[in-house]
């Protein structure tokens, strides 16, 4: 376990600085877009409206796609030009632990991106509440905080983007976790099987995952039984990618 943790630290240190650049860029762009939108509406708009039409979901999606591209790029860079994969595979750890460390560091980077987005949304809520409120007297402060929290909860229910970031119930939380975490798993696994020379399988796997996401997104418009089936399919696909990727590394099929 100690050796695996050292390997995990090595992988995470390699992905941390690029992730800081992605997070900082996302924060600057979203703050600029939100400031422009709230100025245009003069503060007379709900948080859901300001977020949905302000380009914030697009910037967040670009940030997540950048994370997925970073995951694939780091695996490719292990093979070219430095050939550092050979150094990793000669460490006194099992081959599958190399893959699991890459997967764990990628998931931690995804959590870092999600945490940054959640923090930004809380900042947006605070700014919107301060801009939309009149000048407060000291005895109005508690009432204003209560109103602002209520507005945030209602906005979370109204906005699909906010419901994805802040799921209002356990079932939605599971959906969001599986979709976001599963996308990270699928991207890393796709890069692995491409390096193993299995392009057709990689394409089929990616198309299957995108199809599942297509059916998963209209969560509120589907029946409960259908949502459960999609959730199980997403979870099964994510788990399968983890197992198959570890097996490929264990067999040495991506060692060259």
Higher confidence at residue 256 or residue 83?
A: 83
- DSSP type of residue 173: H
Burial class (CB in 10 A: 0-12, 13-18, 19+), 107: middle
For residue 29, the model assigns a pLDDT of 93
- DSSP type of residue 92: S
To 5 degrees, how large is the angle CA 88–CA 94–CA 98? 45
Higher confidence at residue 45 or residue 221?
A: 45
| Local structure of 82: helix, strand or coil | coil
Closest to 216 (Cα-Cα) out of 169, 242, 178: 178
Helices (H), the chain: 2-41, 47-52, 56-79, 84-89, 95-132, 141-158, 160-165, 170-195, 199-216, 224-251
| Local structure of 134: helix, strand or coil | coil
pTM: predicted TM-score of the whole model, two decimal places: 0.81
For residue 194, the model assigns a pLDDT of 78
Please write the tens of the pLDDT for every residue from 13-26.
888 899 999 999 99
Model confidence at 5: pLDDT above 60: yes
Please write the tens of the pLDDT for every residue from 101-138.
888 999 999 999 989 998 888 888 777 766 554 333 44
Domain spans in the chain, listed from the N-terminal domain onward: 2-251
Please write the tens of the pLDDT for every residue from 32-89.
888 888 777 766 667 777 787 778 889 999 999 999 999 888 887 776 766 666 666 6
């Amino acid at each position: 376990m100690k050796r695996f943790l050292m390997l995990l630290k090595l992988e995470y240190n390699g992905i941390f600085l690029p992730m800081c650049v992605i997070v900082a860029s996302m924060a600057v762009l979203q703050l600029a877009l939100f400031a422009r939108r709230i100025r245009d509406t003069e503060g007379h708009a709900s948080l859901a409206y300001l977020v949905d039409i302000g380009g914030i979901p697009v910037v967040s999606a670009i940030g997540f796609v950048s994370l997925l591209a970073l995951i694939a790029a780091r695996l490719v860079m292990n093979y070219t030009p430095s050939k550092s994969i050979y150094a990793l595979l000669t460490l006194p750890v099992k081959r599958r632990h190399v893959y699991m460390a890459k997967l764990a560091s990628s998931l931690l980077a995804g959590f870092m991106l999600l945490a940054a987005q959640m923090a930004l949304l809380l900042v947006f809520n605070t700014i919107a509440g301060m801009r939309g409120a009149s000048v407060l007297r000291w005895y109005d402060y508690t009432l204003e905080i209560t109103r602002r929290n209520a507005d945030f909860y209602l906005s979370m229910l109204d906005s699909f983007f906010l419901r994805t970031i802040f799921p209002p119930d356990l079932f939605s939380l599971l959906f969001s976790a599986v979709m976001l975490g599963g996308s990270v798993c699928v991207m890393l696994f796709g890069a692995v099987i491409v390096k193993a020379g299995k392009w057709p399988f990689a394409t089929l796997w990616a198309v299957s995952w995108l199809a599942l996401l297509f059916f998963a997104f209209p969560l509120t418009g589907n029946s409960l039984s259908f949502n459960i089936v999609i959730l199980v399919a997403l979870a099964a696909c994510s788990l399968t990618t983890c197992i198959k990727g570890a097996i490929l590394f264990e067999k040495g099929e991506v060692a060259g």
